[in-house]
Amino acid sequence: MKTNPSFHPSFPAVGFIGLGLIGGSAAKTIKRVYPGTKITAFNRSPEVLDRALAEGVVDKKADETLSAFGECDLIVLCVPVVTALSYMEQLKAIMKPGAILTDVGSVKGDIHRRAKELGLDACFIGGHPMAGSEKTGYESSSDRLLENAYYILTPSEGTDPSRIRALSSFISGIGALPLAMPPEEHDRTVAAVSHLPHIISAALVNLVNETDGPEKFMHAVAAGGFRDITRISSSSPKMWQEICLANSRDICRMVDLYIRMLNDYRERISQKESGPLLQIFSDCKEYRDSFDTVAKGSVPQEYRIYMDLVDEAGSIASIATTLAVKNISIKNIGIVHNREFEQGVLRIVFYEKEAMEEAIRALEWRNYHIYR
């Protein structure tokens, strides 16, 4: 039986600056997959660092000089972009030849510009794991959070291709799905599929809040579709303030395009143009149905759960068998590859609420970790 080596050949020593949700999850995952990897970490909260050390996730603590990272083959910045920028010059003087510096930020423009200014193009590869949840901090981290999630890499222009291949191999090894693209394309892409939806969600929630009458009828009936569309508005306000400031150019471009499209739709509605309206919703449905979860009707309420899943042969079959024994029908089942705002690696959708509740009981009895 083939087993993984105790550490990845390119990265026997890995460093983390920041042990929050993403940093802690990545460190835990590496220790699970490559237990022989020597992990060095620095965190502003010493209590978190002590806990990670006691749990065996971290092997060595670094202090504010960051000198301990001079031994690392890979250094991961898991802090907000502004904070990451402040560490880069310090790390430049410490990093050993051949080491790679990366980050996990959701905006890449500023950090790539800083890498170029510092002459770090050859060793800096931007990173963005599309995983996360509404929870934060090391206490919420998991050694399965990155599994089967897209992990975007944005190499610098001067990065050696062999380093890109090595980091991609490492990411694949811990169970994530590496996807390389230029940093400017990354920021344009996430502005459309991640950042703009949060702007739209915030606007919709605030619109209902400001236009609701004293009887609060809108608040009372805001369920189903409205809650599904606006769920992401429960994310960290501070984080989204920072994202809007860091990616303002691309977000504004997408907002402008969206406003133009809304004005066009408004005109079609105002003029009661039945043909164009039907085409709008037909095109929308066709494209949306190409995603892994097919929506029918306008925005129906879905009874769905998310769950952690060990990435090995037969895992999904075992879950399906557990549900089949209980005569529970599944509407849809699939792996979530973009998990930036969803917990769990496997999504299961049911036809009825009662089926969902029975499935939760059956799966939890089998010690599966379920997220509603």
Arithmetic mean of pLDDT over the chain: 88
Residues 132-148: b if buried by 16+ CB within 10 A, e if exposed: bbeeeebebbbbbbbbb
- Assign 299 a pLDDT band (cuts: 50, 70, 90): very low
Please write the tens of the pLDDT for every residue from 225-273.
677 778 777 777 888 898 899 899 999 999 999 999 999 999 999 999 9
| Residue matched to tokens 């805001």 | 222
Query: How far apart are the C-alpha atoms of 68 and 50, rounded to whole Å?
Result: 16
- Assign 341 a pLDDT band (cuts: 50, 70, 90): low
State pTM to two decimals: 0.76
Please write the tens of the pLDDT for every residue from 180-212.
999 999 999 999 998 999 999 999 899 989 999
Q: In which residue ranges of the chain is CATH 3.30.70.260 found?
A: 303-371
The conformation of residue 368, written as its DSSP 8-state character, comes to: -
The CA-CA-CA angle for residues 106, 347, 176, to 5°, reads: 45
The token duo for 59 is: 């092997």
Question: In what side-by-side order are the strands of the sheet with 303-307?
Answer: 330-335, 346-350, 303-307, 370-371
Please write the tens of the pLDDT for every residue from 118-154.
999 999 999 999 887 667 789 989 998 898 889 999 9
Q: Which residue has the higher pLDDT, 239 or 274?
A: 274
Q: First and final CA of the chain: distance in angstroms?
A: 36
The conformation of residue 339, written as its DSSP 8-state character, comes to: B
Q: Rg of the Cα trace of the chain?
A: 23
Q: In which residue ranges of the chain is CATH 1.10.3660.10 found?
A: 187-263
Q: In which residue ranges of the chain is CATH 3.40.50.720 found?
A: 13-181
Query: How far apart are the C-alpha atoms of 169 and 164, rounded to whole Å?
Result: 9
Domain 187-263: CATH superfamily is 6-phosphogluconate dehydrogenase C-terminal like domain (1.10.3660.10)
- Secondary structure class of 229 (helix, strand, coil): helix
Q: At what angle do helices 21-33 and 46-54 cross, to 10 degrees?
A: 20
Mean pLDDT of 304-330: 86
Domain 303-371: CATH superfamily is ACT domain (3.30.70.260)
Q: Which residues pair with 150 in a beta bridge?
A: 177
Torsion of CA 121, 122, 123, 129, to 10 degrees: 60
Q: What is the reported pLDDT for 220?
A: 83
For the domain spanning 13-181, the CATH number is 3.40.50.720
Query: How far apart are the C-alpha atoms of 128 and 155, rounded to whole Å?
Result: 11
